[in-house]
Structure 1
Amino acid sequence: MSANLLPSPMSDPIEFNNSIDLSDIGGTLTLAETTHDAWLPPEPVNTFEWLCENMHSHKGAPFNPVQFPWTKGICEAWDDPRTRNIWVKMGSRLGKTEVSLGCHACAQRHDPNTGMIGASTQRLLEKTIGDRFYGMMAKTPALADLCPPKHRQNSHKVSTRTFITYGAWSGSPTTLGDIDPKYVNLLEVSKWVREQKSESDSIELALARGSEIPDRKFLGESTPTIKGACRITKFVERASNEYFHVPCPHCNHHQRLRRNTTGERKDGGLMWDGGPEEAISPEKAYQTAHYVCESCHKNIDETQRRSMIQKGVWCGTGQRVDKNGELVGKPANGIRERSFNLSRMYGWTFTFADYARAYIESLSLSGQSFANDWEGEAWVPLKVEMEWEQLAKRLCVGDWELGQVPEGCYFLTCAVDVQVDHFVCATFGWDNRQRGCLIRHGTVDTWDQVREWIQRPYEALDGGSDMRARMTLIDSRDGNRKDEIINFCRSVNDEAGPHVYPSMGGNHGSMNLRFFRKLAIDADNEIGKKAKRNIVPGIHLIMINTTVFQEWMDNVMVNRVPGDDMSMMLPQCLIEDQDLFDQLLNEKLNKEKGIWEHIDTLVPNDMRDVFRYGRCAAEVLTNGNWARIPKHRPRQLPESEADRHQRQRRTAEQLNRNRESGGKPNQSKKRFVRRPSSTSSKRFVRRKSL
């Protein structure tokens, strides 16, 4: 005797209730509520509507569909049972991480199952789960009951009473294996490392997780990186490859918002007034920016931009949008994998004018920052192919001698590259148009010689007083000599000399569009977050955006003629210096690893490094605001012979005192110092005599 508890596939649909009639076997079976719910398939959910009604960010801000209208198409792909994989390639600050985590949270709320959130690094994963995901759960009323208390929150795994979401990161096969998640969300796909020794790539491992589950969902998002090595670009292009098309307010023609690259009005796109791009100031581009419809060629005002975006439609390869806003055609690559592209031109907090200004500013140093973070496209690096004689002939056009400062230079910077047994030094002059010139370069053997190099005065050919470097950066990437370098920088600064800071290269992804970052240094020479409360004023470690200044160096050698803005000029007397130009050319970008490497391992690249450090020192000194530098250096009366001898005597006496003291920094002359203990009633104590 048996009971048919479930209808046969061919029977009419029935309505379930909490009781099942078992009269033929002598009774009625009453099901618990949870058991009853488990019998039923999950109700379909509209993720976009759920986000609009429920989702709050980790900061407590409610999700605003007006600011992020393009997220609707991504959510619809997440809900579509025909779509397995979703790829999102966007510029920065456009909400791609928020929508990814929102889709994951909505799915776990309505149909709980095993999930996985993957990040490019362990630190990013811990920040994403520990700060953003738990914060979003706590601030979202529909998820608050699932959020574990603070003391039970694990930044590597989200464990609730209904679901578990595991954390994973690239380069860690153990976190990517042995689980079968139904929901997989990967962050910053393009920054995932490639494991050369492992049997499979990290992203391929993540894609394989849960692939046997029929309704498994996968969403990978990222800002792009370098053309040819950008991983998100490859996945996006092989899928539906959709762009957000918006209607012209004049003719209703749907088009993708983009920058005009031809200079022809008939081609449409974002334009601005002026001549060649290199000759336009960022402010002029900002003030004259306007968008031209590619169909009717009429201007589209900034006040019309947001309303256009609200009516946008995602359109893939093989499709078009008619004037009624309806898609025509089918995606050339199907809908099993859908992919989306978006630039900052669609951003709620950005404008056409902001976009134009950012592009002109990118011409000065970093085109990669603009391509990746604003255009949302992979950056095509400059290819440098020339012999040293060609480079020498191109750059050596100056009519000054080494050790002289040509007319037009307003300030000097210095750079020092620290080697095992010597130091590579160079001094540069700069004007208000970001044009540089080499004043002096060479090698020295001791720290005393480095000090003399930094403090040396140079003859100014404009008839004014001698000039000295006002900012110096010393490379401290060798961790074994960190304390030695920082102590030297501190000692020179204590002599009321020029600003002398230690420096270190940083990768593009960690710099957040900045050319450099200043990190605090404490009395124990700890840096940044490791620095304690007793921060030493007047000295910082400068973290240099390596990508920005490597790209500047390549542009100096290939694109910018000496005399152009952001160019570099060398004196004619160096035209036969093969070693100098071999070093400038001896580095190229490894697209696979995303780092610059030696071309010829037998040739150093120290001079290329000091050129980059000297340029960054100018950015640090001006704080990026070159416009405040006067067009001409104020003329001063020539220094008399007696004054010059007196100044040189004072400098020599100071150097002798430094040698006698072993180069240690001067002790503070303050009679009172702040008490280290905050519990004492007295905030200051008298300094003890040494």
Structure 2
Amino acid sequence: MLDDAAAWCWDAYRRQAAPPPLLTVSEWADTYRRLTSKSAAEPGPWRTDRTPYLRAIMDALSPQAPWQRVVFVKGAQLGGTEAGNNFLAYLIHWHPGPIMAVQPTVEGAKRWSRQRLDDLVEAPPLAGLVKDPRSRDSGNTTLLKEFPGGVLVVTGGNSAVGLRSMPVRFLFLDEVDAYPIDADGEGDPIDLAVQRTATFGHRRKVFLVSTPTIEGHSRIERAYQESDQRRFWVPCPHCGEFQVLTWDQMRWTEEAPETAFYECAHNGCVIVNADKATMLPRGEWRAEADGDGETAGFHISSLYSPVGWLSWADLARQHEKAKDSPARMQVFVNTKLGETWRDQGEAPAWEHLWERCGGYTAGEVPEEVALLTAGADVQPDRIEVEVVGWGEGFRSWSISYHVLDGSPEGEAVWQALDQVVRHTWRRQGGGDALTVQRIAVDSGFLTPAVYRWVGRTGQKLAMAIKGRANMMTALGTATRTEVTGAGRRARTRGVRVWTVGVDLLKGELYGRLRLTRGDDGRVPPGYCHFPEGYEAEYFKQLTAEELVTGTNRKGYETREWRKTRPRNEALDCRVYATAALLALGAARWGPTEWEARRRANAGGLPLSAPMPAPHVTAGNDETAPGGSAADTPSAHGVRGPSPRPASRPAVIRSSWLG
């Protein structure tokens, strides 16, 4: 018995004293890693040959590799998460030391630990190295894993306390573009975390992983630009020429994404998705820059996703769904192509929009319109509202714009808003009658009055909204159905208040306003139509903001929409009308649903009183190019005054109501 105990002690001593074999991370993974059905679609032994582009990335993370930082810019479904897991498992099993893993938030870190990390440490070969969490003083909690020779701390990018908890040699920073700008007022979370590695000098390893976000504001983009900027080159299976797979070379038959193939950039060879099985193993990483000498950078898109995972047909289908919307296209570019999105923050030229007015008159509903929504902006002395028609592909038609004079603290202006919302609109040439399906009203000013009107009108028709300027970043990887938030209950009259990402919708609108007709006269999805009779002021207001990059008092970059002129109500009203459309679920509609709504006779809600004639006043001192002040109508109205109703305390001006 004593001899056995001595032999066990000697064997344990040799394991601790002897240096580990010089296995790279990929060699370790191929030897030891087992994927479980709990966390992997393909359980069983890990095979780097399945994702050969990950070999160089994992090996750059090996302690014997010369790189202090490894940057991985990626698309979705490429195995990047498991590469990070292999790095952590390798360290715990084969090269222990102090490790930190950082997720965007503490809550996200807890979720990642329970769903990913626990599965990793409970499976061979790590099983038993981290003690059972149920044992007393086990050193195994959600955010802390102790093991022989080291410890793994898990935290969030929003926790300064967690980021400066201890010195670490190995640092895993996951989805860094989702980190907050500032961690508890103490600075950039990446800087705080990297400072924890300073003690270990050139022996440290920092692994940064993320899909990118906005050009010029993406952390992973900046880190990649400091690296040697490697891209993965693969040979054409027909002509053998090496190339980087880019979206520009994807081809498919219109409206048939299942026909997607890749056209060789050199000789036009037709490459099909199944060819990746032979192309990827022969691929090689090539550096395109010298870098800082300390950072190895890797960039790869979802075009390289292995056969059986994300196919080129899948990508073509997702592109088809995204092409109608800049917001969805940003998600596609970020998460599938692994590229930054260039913000369309500069205002479109209002003159070009004004010049293309026509095809219908204000107050008419063109045949292509499927439904109407409206957006209302509450001001101290008036309410402004736009009625917008929508068709398939989020094409839009401004139906009418109204300025309702009167204090929102009184009832008269709200009664005038009732008239607009409940008006029956006729299609061009007669036929179906339509009413507004939903109106979004900004509740940021005179909130109780807005709640009262929404509650009285009914929340199936009216919705109170609150704009959130910072939802552009928060929704960087969200779908368009989330633009209007989940809603919350206000304390006044139980009215539901919808949180609207106004920054995101402004960027999307500006992208649509830039769209032009094709050479054949066809209009693309998202195209914005305007009627005869609108004046210059409407378009100046519609383009009255631009996205400005600046710095806050702590020196960090900020992005915000700023006015370029005092009046911007037309822009706000259009954004709110779009939010009303999304709240109806339009992001999920296909062509069949749009056509069904277009054909449906929406009928007309009964009016409490006949619609008054519009009153046009000279409410603007700006003249249109080529006109004079004498013949310039009010802010957005048709030319020529109409008689003002004698007994109308709230004036409807600057509009056409029919």
TM-score calculated relative to the size of structure 2: 0.75
* Matching residue within 376, 381, 384 for 2:343: 381
Amino acid at match of 2:360: D
Distance 1:541 1:161 in 2: 52
Deviation at 1:422, TM superposition (A): 6.1
Distance 1:420 1:138 in 2: 62
Q: Structure 1's 30 and 220: CA in aligned 2 closer, same or farther, altered over 3 A?
A: closer
**Residue 69 of structure 2 corresponds to residue 106 of structure 1:** no
Q: CA deviation at 1:563?
A: 4.4
Displacement after TM superposition at 1:231 (Å): 1.9
Q: Which residue of 1 aligns with 2:618?
A: none
Contact 2:214 2:341 in 1 (8 A): yes
State how far apart, in whole Å, the 2-side matches of 1:101 and 1:466 are: 59
* Structure 2: distance between partners of 1:357 and 1:594: 34
AA in 1 matched with 2:547? K
Q: Residues 49 and 281 of structure 2 are in contact (CA less than 8 Å); yes or no, is this contact kept in structure 1?
A: yes
Question: Which is further off, 426-435 or 557-566?
Answer: 557-566
Equivalent residue, structure 2, for 1:51: 29
Secondary structure of the residue aligned to 2:530 is strand
1:86, CA displacement in angstroms?
0.3
3-state DSSP of counterpart to 2:118? helix
Match of 1:312 in 2: 283
The aligned residue for residue 211 of structure 2 is 223
- From 495, 511, 515, the equivalent of 2:480 is 515
CA distance in 2 between partners of 1:433 and 1:368 (Å): 17
Distance 1:344 1:422, change over 3 A: farther
Equivalent position of 2:56 in the other structure: 73
Q: Distance in 2 between matches of 1:182 and 1:606?
A: 54
Name the TM-score, length of structure 1 as normaliser: 0.72
Pair 1:551 & 2:512 matched: no
Q: 1:398: how far off?
A: 4.7
Change (3 A) 1:167 1:550: same
Q: Distance in 1 between matches of 2:567 and 2:183?
A: 27
Gaps of 5+ in 1: 1-17, 19-27, 261-268, 274-280, 319-331, 527-535, 653-690
- Report SS of the residue matched to 2:56: helix
Moved more, 177-186 or 208-217: 208-217
Residue 80 of structure 2: aligned partner: 96
Contact 1:71-1:99 at 8 Å conserved across structures: yes
| Alignment of 1:207 onto 2:194 | yes
CA apart distance, 1:594: 6.1
Report the residue type matching 1:40 in the other structure: A
Matched residues in 1 for 2:131 and 2:440: separation? 48
Give the fraction of aligned pairs with identical amino acids, expressed as a percent.
18
1:328-367 C-alpha deviation (Å, 9 max, x unpaired): xxxx348632111011111232222233343344332123
CA distance in 2, matches of 1:256, 1:159: 42
Distance 2:184 2:601 in 1: 64
- Retained in 2: the 8 A contact 1:58–1:134? no
| RMSD value, Cα | 4.1
Q: CA 1:407–1:358 in 2, change beyond 3 Å: closer, same or farther?
A: same
Contact kept? 1:429, 1:436, Cα under 8 Å: yes
Secondary structure class of the residue paired with 1:239: coil
1:380, 1:636 → 2: CA distance? Answer: 41
Per the TM alignment, residue 218 of structure 1 is displaced from its structure 2 partner at its CA by 1.0
TM-aligned CA distance change 1:393 to 1:201, over 3 Å: same
Match of residue 665 from structure 1: none
Matched to 2:219, the amino acid is R
Which amino acid in the other structure matches residue 357 of structure 2?
C
Is the contact made by 2:97 and 2:169 (CA closer than 8 Å) also made in structure 1? yes
Distance 1:287 1:39, change over 3 A: closer
Cα distance in structure 2, aligned partners of 1:486 and 1:311: 64
Counterpart CA distance in 1 for 2:569 and 2:34 is: 52
CA distance in 2, matches of 1:129, 1:119: 10
Gap change, CA 1:520 and 1:121, over 3 Å in 2: closer
1:87-486 equivalences under 5 Å are 87-140=71-124, 142-143=126-127, 145-146=129-130, 148-149=132-133, 154-160=141-147, 162-170=149-157, 172-177=159-164, 179-195=166-182, 201-213=188-200, 214-260=202-248, 269-273=249-253, 283-284=255-256, 286-317=257-288, 332-333=290-291, 336-348=294-306, 349-366=309-326, 367-382=329-344, 384=346, 388=350, 390-401=351-362, 403-417=363-377, 423-442=383-402, 445=408, 450-475=417-442
Deviations 1:591-610 (A, max 9, x none): 8756442134x725443233
* Structure 2 contact 373–387 (Cα < 8 Å) conserved: yes
Per the alignment, in what secondary structure is the counterpart of residue 105 of structure 1?
Answer: helix
Letter in 2 for 1:409: V
Q: Are the counterparts in 1 of residues 110 and 143 from structure 2 also a CA contact under 8 Å?
A: yes
Larger mean Cα displacement after TM superposition, 355-364 or 142-151: 142-151
In the TM superposition, residue 212 of structure 1 has moved relative to its aligned partner by: 3.5
Matched-pair contact (CA < 8 Å) for 1:190–1:224: yes
Call closer, same or farther: CA 1:567–1:609 in 2, change over 3 Å. same
**SS of residue paired to 1:573:** coil
Contact 2:239-2:269 within 8 A present in 1 as well: no
Distance 1:171 1:205 in 2: 11
Looking at structure 2, the residues matched to 183 and 85 of structure 1 have their Cα atoms a distance apart, in angstroms, of 10
Decide which moves more: 183-192 or 153-162: 153-162
Is the CA contact 1:121–1:169 (under 8 Å) kept in the aligned structure 2? yes
Once the 2 structures are TM-superposed, how far is the Cα of residue 519 of structure 1 from its aligned partner? 6.3
Tell me the distance in 1 between the aligned counterparts of 2:146 and 2:376: 51
CA distances 1:38-82 after superposition (whole Å, capped 9, x unpaired): 432233233224334424369343356455332222111111431
Number of residue pairs matched by the alignment: 571
**Inter-CA distance 56–197: structure 2 relative to 1 (3 Å threshold):** closer
